[in-house]
Structure 1
Amino acid sequence: MTLFGMSIETLYLTLLIVSGSLTILYLFFGDALEGLGEAAGFLSPVLILAFISFFSAGGYILEKVTAIHSFIIIAIAAIAAVLLDILLNVFVLVPMKSAEQSLSYTEKSLEGRVGKAIISIPEQGFGEVVIESYSGMISKPAASFEDTPISEGTEVLVIEVRNGVLYVTPYQPSFK
């Protein structure tokens, strides 16, 4: 079958090369086009390029391997591309979007957290507190909020953070 003056296999192959090239370009310059994906709703450029790639690859392979009529091959390739696109979206893109959680923290986010004194905190001096987080352990200088000494190994509650120093008090959990 010919379409636009060229064989359908050549058209499928051309579509595959163009969509593959655009996918590679989107990989490098996708951050600049991120707003395009947000404006289009659920039709992101990744899904559109993936659909064209799946459709053209499926159509090319079916044209080369089978003797099925070209209109049936177009329908089969389109249905397969839609199904593969849905699977790509549900099992890859959506989990990646929700897993995009920052590993950084702000000093304000440390307030109210429970940590452990790893260097004792004297009455009017500084010690060190370690707090467990998603990205690992956060170690910060600490001072007593109530100007009372806190011994090493004591669980502490961060009351406030000023100038990079945690002001803590010994932690007594209400429920154990």
Structure 2
Amino acid sequence: MEAVYAACLIVGILYALVSVVFGDWLSQAMDGVLDFLSLDGPSIFQPMTLVGGITIFGGAGLLLERYSGLGVWMIALFAVLIAIVGAIAVFFLYVKPMENSENSIAFTIASLAGSQGEVIVPIPESGYGEVLVRVGAGNTNQIAASYDRKPIPDGAKVVVVDVREGILYVSELNLTI
């Protein structure tokens, strides 16, 4: 049984090393051939969780076999239980937080209401111009109209008062103190 435990431990360690060092390269080279490993079912069955459990099973089995006086079946049972607990820990401490950490740099035009910007194409009193609005770490140029129906010159600081039909309605920001 020691050979089974050692094989599980070695395969798990090799999988971890190969996926860390060559993961992106292999993914591109194989062009999605192994995408079936990312199961569409519950995310607890992700490869990282399964391989982590197998690795823990191997390590726990080896340690229990060498340092406990338990029988073969008790060692296997305890190794399986430790592997299940370890896989659950890997899932909740690594996989789940990584799934939740995926961020998007996308924004909706409606979310620009209340934002400040700068006029880059002058806005006439009854026409359209363009404003530059900061979004996250970047900027976006958007079509804008004057909310107050007053002309707004190039370079003026503005605030987005309303968004309708993809057009930002802005007012000049008067910063008098």
TM-score with structure 1 length normalisation? 0.67
Structure 1 residues 45 and 128, CA gap change in structure 2 (3 angstroms): same
Q: Residues of 2 paired with 1:149 and 1:23: CA distance?
A: 62
**1:77 shift after superposition:** 1.3
Identity of aligned residues (%): 18
Partner of 1:101 in structure 2? 103
Greater CA drift, 118-127 or 16-25: 118-127
Q: Residues of 2 paired with 1:112 and 1:66: CA distance?
A: 61
TM-score with structure 2 length normalisation? 0.67
1:90 aligns with 2:92: yes
**Equivalent of 2:157 in 134, 137, 153:** 153
Partner of 2:118 in structure 1? 118
Q: Residues of 2 paired with 1:112 and 1:77: CA distance?
A: 52
Structure 1's unaligned 5+ residue stretches are 1-7, 162-166, 172-176
Contact 1:118-1:153 within 8 A present in 2 as well: yes
**1:13 shift after superposition:** 1.1
Structure 2's unaligned 5+ residue stretches are 172-177
Partner of 1:49 in structure 2? 51
**1:73 shift after superposition:** 1.6
Higher-helix-fraction structure:
2
Report Cα offsets for 1:94-124 as digits up to 9, x if no partner. 2322332322x26xx2245222132474316
Q: Which amino acid aligns with 1:170?
A: V
Contact 1:117-1:127 within 8 A present in 2 as well: no
**Equivalent of 1:69 in 61, 68, 71:** 71
Greater CA drift, 29-38 or 64-73: 29-38
**1:23 shift after superposition:** 4.1
Partner of 1:14 in structure 2? 7
Contact 2:117-2:134 within 8 A present in 1 as well: no
Contact 1:129-1:142 within 8 A present in 2 as well: no
